[in-house]
Amino acid sequence: MTINCSGETLTLDKDRAVYWAAKKMLIISDLHIGKSAHFRKSGIQVPATVAHADLEKLSGLLKKYAAEILLITGDMFHNKINSDVIVFQNWRNTFPGLKVWLVKGNHDNLKEDDYTNMEIEIFKKELCFMPFRFIHDKPTEFDDYYNISGHIHPGVTIYGKARQKLNFPCFYFNKTCAVLPAFSTFTGLSLIRPEPGDRFFAITPSAVVEV
């Protein structure tokens, strides 16, 4: 689905990503590489294929749009180097010409050398790229930039007949800020209560649908 946001054309992809064609930029949030390995280390049986599946999906998106820049609005990694991060390092080598930019989130606690070795450019607080500010969490003060964030793993409830309801991850847009869905499938949902003027784009198995 293609929408207009602050005068720019953005494509909302059902694989939980935004493509900004004017900049050849693929934008995602909350990749959480290393989270599944972290749980396994704690004795919780999470499939070792989670990181592989997320990166395979990401590869498909980069090729689909021929993106030159991958921008992650926080929580690319989940705290420390582990086996899943090694998987990412090997994956990174398959896209040598790709620029990878990370606006650091609360879980991005790798050492600076780790990011450098993986050719990831770090922005500690935000990245301003008119008309957008890319930031991990929704700001509390606003200016001329439209904010694009992540962090809360937004979800929306769709109601059907006979009181049926389903929860879906979503793209959420209000007057000052957009919140991207968590890219990784190994995350929960935070259901957002709508306010006047809000727009929700539910990510169903087959399409992105405005609700």
Domain that holds residue 70: 2-210
Taking the model in full, what pTM does it have? 0.90
Give alpha helix (H) positions in 9-166. Answer: 35-41, 50-65, 83-92, 112-117
Question: What integer pLDDT is reported at residue 189 of this predicted model?
Answer: 85
Two structure tokens written together for 105: 């989130």
Give alpha helix (H) positions in the chain. Answer: 35-41, 50-65, 83-92, 112-117
- Residuewise pLDDT in 10s, the chain (211 residues): 999 999 999 999 999 999 999 999 999 999 988 655 444 454 544 555 667 889 999 999 999 999 999 999 988 886 665 567 888 889 999 999 999 999 998 878 888 898 999 999 999 999 999 999 999 998 888 899 999 999 999 999 988 777 788 899 999 999 999 999 999 886 778 898 888 999 999 999 999 999 9
Query: From CA 18, how far away is CA 10, in angstroms rounded?
Result: 6
Two structure tokens written together for 166: 């389903």
Q: Is 187 left (phi over 0), alpha (psi -120 to 50) or beta?
A: beta
CATH code: domain of residue 12: 3.60.21
Query: From CA 85, how far away is CA 63, in angstroms rounded?
Result: 22
Q: How many residues does this entry show for the chain?
A: 211
Query: From CA 152, how far away is CA 180, in angstroms rounded?
Result: 9
Please state the domain count of the chain: 1
